[in-house]
Structure 1
Amino acid sequence: YYGLNASNKTMTFYDRSQDTNPCGVILGMPGAGKSFSAKREMESIWLGTQDDIYVLDPEREYAPMAKAFGGTIIRISNGSKAHINPFDINLQNAGEDGDPIKVKSDFIQSLCETAIGGRFGLSQIEKSLIGRCATRLYTDHVRELQATGKDMNPKTAPTMVDFYNLLMTQPEPEAANIALALERFVSGSDDLFSHHSNIDVKNRFVVYDIKDIGSGLKELGLQIAFDAIWNKMIENRAKGKRTWIYIDEFYLLMSKETSAEYISTIWKRARKWNGVPTAITQNVEDMLKSEQARTVINNSQFVTLLQQSPVNKKQLSNLLGLTIEEQKYISTSKPGMGLLKIGEDVIPINDDFPKDTHLYKIMTTKPDELIEA
């Protein structure tokens, strides 16, 4: 249930999971009700299905709801005992050529680009070096998995330390530069992603809380947590389960070219793995500047548009083909008022959720109404 049709006052129901393309995007200004809209959908999924729900939470907005529903909250930060190894590999996560190492290499490239920073991304030499090291890093591990009949083994997977050490053995000076950029994540105070994974997530509702991850690590944390969820989604498909993924502050994943390319490719492959990903962001202008981010929006059958600035409203209207009449619903400052775009259909919605309910109290993000997680 997504609220009342603002035009004819009828109730609006829709099941994204039955669509040929279940991917979704929620776009709106701060205070427009983006996270509330996402939580409304999560509540329906939790109570009405047996599907799994995973949330990437950069601002600790989803913890109260997860706690109320008996979910698991994984807090990733310096000093935390919860570890995610970004070098875990699942043999089922292979591209069209059936090569899981190539897919993992693309992900490692996106991590390195984030770690190195800079305006121009990775050079072709750096990409070649990362690809070479990734192949050498995983060859023996993949043979071990194939010999034992396993798709993945977190206990024996390579780590960032192994990757760093391998880079240091390469003769090219560019390899040393990449290793230097990764050094702080290997032996410094930010080594939280250099350990083997030790989280065993069996709950249906899981929130990855990265609010306290530290300055400059949020983008990297989003990428690594997303990859961990993707591996879980592959496991779920083998069990016949559907996986819903919600990514807040999504624009951070699209801010670097390599990362954006990787995420947009994943977006296209989600349905194959019984996945229903949803991007949530207030930084619409940053999204619209990226060709890959625009591709994500265009490849999402389900788009929720809440209040927009005049500039964003104009750009989104051009991108999505909104009429002047439809644009009125995303010009309002009323939270929960907006548009649902489902394929070619555009529906004005008004989700005026009753505030004197327990559900409202665990879903609101207004500072004066928050429940402590």
Structure 2
Amino acid sequence: MRLFSKKEVEEQDDTDEFGVDKSQDISNLDDFLDSESINGVYPFSWEEFPDHIESGDNYIRVLAIVDYPKVKSGNWLAPLKRKKGNITIVQDFESSNARKMVEYYNNTIKNKEAEKVDTYDPLKKKKIVQAIETANMQLNKYLDSEVTYLYQHMYVFLQAESLEELNALTDSVNNTLSKLQLKSMNPIKAQYQAFWSAMPIGENLLKDYTFKQSNTEVASSVIPFDDADILDLNPHSDIEGINKDTNSLIAIDYMDKRNVLNQNMVVIGTSGVGKTTYMQQKILRYIAKGVKVFIIDPENEYSEIVEHFGGQVVHLSSNSATKINPLEIFTEELDTSQEVNIDLLIKDKIQRVKGFFQVLKPDLTQVEKSVLDSVLHDCYRNSGVLHYKNIKSIHQDQWPILSDVFQQIERLRDSKEGKERYEIIKDFYFILDSYVNGSNTLFNGFTNIDINTNLLSFDLKALQNDEEIQGAAYLNTFSFLWDEITKNRTENIKLFVDEFHFLTQNPDASSFFYQAFKRFRKYNAGAIAGTQQIQDVLDGTMGNGKNVGEAIIGNSYTKLFFGLDPGSLDDIEDKLRVNFSKKERKLLEKKKQGEGLMINGSKRAFMKVTLTEEELRLIDFEQYQEKYPEAIPNYEERIKMTPIEQEEARSFQF
């Protein structure tokens, strides 16, 4: 037990039972109490004004919505939902008497029908007919059990840090509400009721002012869900553009196999609507991300970008020194369950070569293909490649070339037993002569391309005056790049095939293109196929008679449609089974440059392609100079840190 001294006892006598000094003046509790600690735990104050409420540091105003637009589609509230500021949209729904609404529409039909009989003014009569059609539509939906009726209420809860900010926010919100055809009311001297009506406690104290009777279909449109958003934003996502409806980004993670079935994409649009600009932008962004990019460029639209970033451009022409041997096998990949050997690989390659021959001679018959099949087997046998165990052991100059095919056909011509077969393929023999001994020697020779870059483009523009040669070069190049992609199952590779309609002009080429296209996913790769010749794609068929356009577009999880003619839209709907809404058709028929419809799986969004400053400088320097006077931007100066940022960086600890 502790004994207290006399001094300690005297000191205790000067305090009350709570330990408070009796001599201290506590008449003013505000001076005595520790208000800062109390406010830190419960910082609440409340003061009502006629048009707003002040609570602590918050300035609050609640707007009541008293009228709604006549017709709206889903997600139409997105402009309000996405406004900057502390804004909360509050919805309240109550069951309504459906019988009264049915009686209302029924009486409307009877009264308007009677009014129509006595009306002769054309404009007034059309309005009456329109009212009757609307009433009939509502009745039909109710009778078909598609909708029922309810009362809907809506409040907009605003908060700011000062009265000036609150007033500015209110003006901005009211402007948006006017554009959305929503009529708002600031309940003067009823902010208390509006405040508690906006709280999630189930009390609606202003229901007599805010009620609107509607069916469930219309009421559902005010739920502010982004049904038009395609937004999967993460470090791996591709930023595609701006959503015109919600003003948000459109971002897709093509590597997410759970949500994106494949990385393939088709880009379709008429000339001048922004298809090429979009693909150029996409290439630039893949370069920035370090993704390997291959390009087939029929119009020489990507060479400048590729060369600017140190890539390799292969310019192909009729007498080009660069060769890709159409008879060489570049990979041991074979889509079969059988054991892979040279003989099987050659059989698979011969099917491709016959497709290549059909491009050279579009009317190649089945009998001609059969004879050429035998000729090609003899060429591979004579070359000696059948003795090898795998293609890696075979040097490039050991494979047969077109000259060997030509000489093998000549042997048929000069032998008695082969004379009949020669007569069958005689026309092809003369065509092949121009590719072996004539001016078109592009395909005759051993492959001499060495791919040692992550950025490779094939320029086919010099061949554009001869569509058959260009189509053959396109198919031969695609076949070569496809074999390069199948060598690597792990590295992400993007193949841009612009104007891919060249691959749909004959059945065998179409079949190969489709088979390769649908297998890109297997190799962690993606094909971005673009065209402005949609009619050629719609008319193309594969060997099995199936429409190649429907197959390619159907196998692309992502589709981007830029501006199109009404006739092309009709054909796409009829032949490709891609349906467009009235709003979508209207947008596409306008053909506004850089605007299109993005379809990613089941999601759709209107998109605007927007170039960054640097992308614009690289893609269209003339337009860049007009928009930005500073021709060469000083990015180092722009990203230079301030003294405060430098100090924060020095003191930063992981």
Normalised by the length of structure 1, the TM-score is: 0.89
Query: 8 Å contact 1:89–1:152 — kept in the other structure?
Result: no
Of the structure 1 ranges 324-333 and 250-259, higher mean CA displacement relative to structure 2 is found in 324-333
Query: 8 Å contact 1:308–1:331 — kept in the other structure?
Result: yes
Q: Distance in 2 between matches of 1:205 and 1:344?
A: 32
- Equivalent residue for 1:39? 280
1:145, distance to aligned residue in structure 2 (A): 4.1
- Equivalent residue for 1:294? 550
- Equivalent residue for 2:347? 102
1:360, distance to aligned residue in structure 2 (A): 1.6
- 1:349 and 2:607 correspond: yes
Q: Distance in 2 between matches of 1:47 and 1:201?
A: 20
Give the secondary structure class of the aligned counterpart of 2:591: coil
> In the TM superposition, what whole-angstrom CA distance separates every residue of 1:150-179 from its partner, at most 9, and x where no partner exists?
176423221111122223333201233322
Matched-pair identity in % = 21
- Pick aligned residue for 1:186 from 430, 436, 439: 436
1:75, distance to aligned residue in structure 2 (A): 0.5
Query: 8 Å contact 2:262–2:557 — kept in the other structure?
Result: yes
- Pick aligned residue for 1:84 from 319, 324, 336: 324
Of the structure 1 ranges 165-174 and 185-194, higher mean CA displacement relative to structure 2 is found in 165-174
> In the TM superposition, what whole-angstrom CA distance separates every residue of 1:99-142 from its partner, at most 9, and x where no partner exists?
3223211211111111113xxx3212112122222333334654
- Equivalent residue for 1:156? 398
Structure 1 pair 91/333, CA: closer, same or farther in 2 (3 Å)? closer
- 1:115 and 2:360 correspond: yes
1:270, distance to aligned residue in structure 2 (A): 2.0
Structure 1 pair 141/326, CA: closer, same or farther in 2 (3 Å)? farther
1:298, distance to aligned residue in structure 2 (A): 1.1
Query: 8 Å contact 1:90–1:100 — kept in the other structure?
Result: no
Query: 8 Å contact 1:77–1:214 — kept in the other structure?
Result: no
Q: Distance in 1 between matches of 2:409 and 2:334?
A: 24
Q: Which letter does structure 2 place at the counterpart of 1:360? A: L
Q: Distance in 2 between matches of 1:126 and 1:245?
A: 33
Query: 8 Å contact 2:315–2:458 — kept in the other structure?
Result: yes
Q: Distance in 2 between matches of 1:42 and 1:161?
A: 38
- Equivalent residue for 1:334? 592
- 1:165 and 2:423 correspond: no
Q: Distance in 2 between matches of 1:127 and 1:220?
A: 17
Q: Distance in 2 between matches of 1:228 and 1:180?
A: 26
Q: Distance in 2 between matches of 1:343 and 1:153?
A: 44
- Equivalent residue for 1:222? 474
Give 1:1-373 correspondences, 5 Å limit.
Answer: 1-18=239-256, 19-49=260-290, 51-96=291-336, 99-117=344-362, 121-139=363-381, 141-146=384-389, 150=392, 153-170=395-412, 171=418, 172=421, 173-213=423-463, 215-216=465-466, 217-237=469-489, 240-290=490-540, 291-318=547-574, 319-354=577-612, 357-364=613-620
Give the secondary structure class of the aligned counterpart of 1:12: strand
Q: Distance in 2 between matches of 1:241 and 1:351?
A: 28
1:365, distance to aligned residue in structure 2 (A): 10
> In the TM superposition, what whole-angstrom CA distance separates every residue of 1:213-236 from its partner, at most 9, and x where no partner exists?
363221111111111111211223
Structure 1 pair 180/17, CA: closer, same or farther in 2 (3 Å)? farther
Structure 1 pair 46/252, CA: closer, same or farther in 2 (3 Å)? same
Structure 1 pair 175/287, CA: closer, same or farther in 2 (3 Å)? same
Give the secondary structure class of the aligned counterpart of 2:287: helix
Structure 1 pair 343/248, CA: closer, same or farther in 2 (3 Å)? same
Bigger RCO of structures 1 and 2 (CA < 8 A, at least 6 apart): 1
1:309, distance to aligned residue in structure 2 (A): 0.6
Normalised by the length of structure 2, the TM-score is: 0.52
Structure 1 pair 320/266, CA: closer, same or farther in 2 (3 Å)? same
Structure 1 pair 314/199, CA: closer, same or farther in 2 (3 Å)? same
Give the secondary structure class of the aligned counterpart of 1:13: strand
Give the secondary structure class of the aligned counterpart of 2:587: helix
> In the TM superposition, what whole-angstrom CA distance separates every residue of 1:226-251 from its partner, at most 9, and x where no partner exists?
111112112233xx312211111211
1:368, distance to aligned residue in structure 2 (A): 11
Query: 8 Å contact 2:331–2:487 — kept in the other structure?
Result: no
Q: Distance in 2 between matches of 1:82 and 1:214?
A: 17
Q: Distance in 2 between matches of 1:141 and 1:297?
A: 41
Give the secondary structure class of the aligned counterpart of 2:330: coil
Q: Distance in 2 between matches of 1:265 and 1:311?
A: 29
Query: 8 Å contact 1:16–1:22 — kept in the other structure?
Result: yes
Q: Which runs of 5+ in 1 are unaligned?
A: none
Q: Which letter does structure 1 place at the counterpart of 2:562? A: L
1:255, distance to aligned residue in structure 2 (A): 1.2
Structure 1 pair 368/10, CA: closer, same or farther in 2 (3 Å)? closer
Q: Which letter does structure 1 place at the counterpart of 2:471? A: E
> In the TM superposition, what whole-angstrom CA distance separates every residue of 1:340-363 from its partner, at most 9, and x where no partner exists?
111121121111325xx3422433
Give the secondary structure class of the aligned counterpart of 1:179: helix
Query: 8 Å contact 1:108–1:130 — kept in the other structure?
Result: no
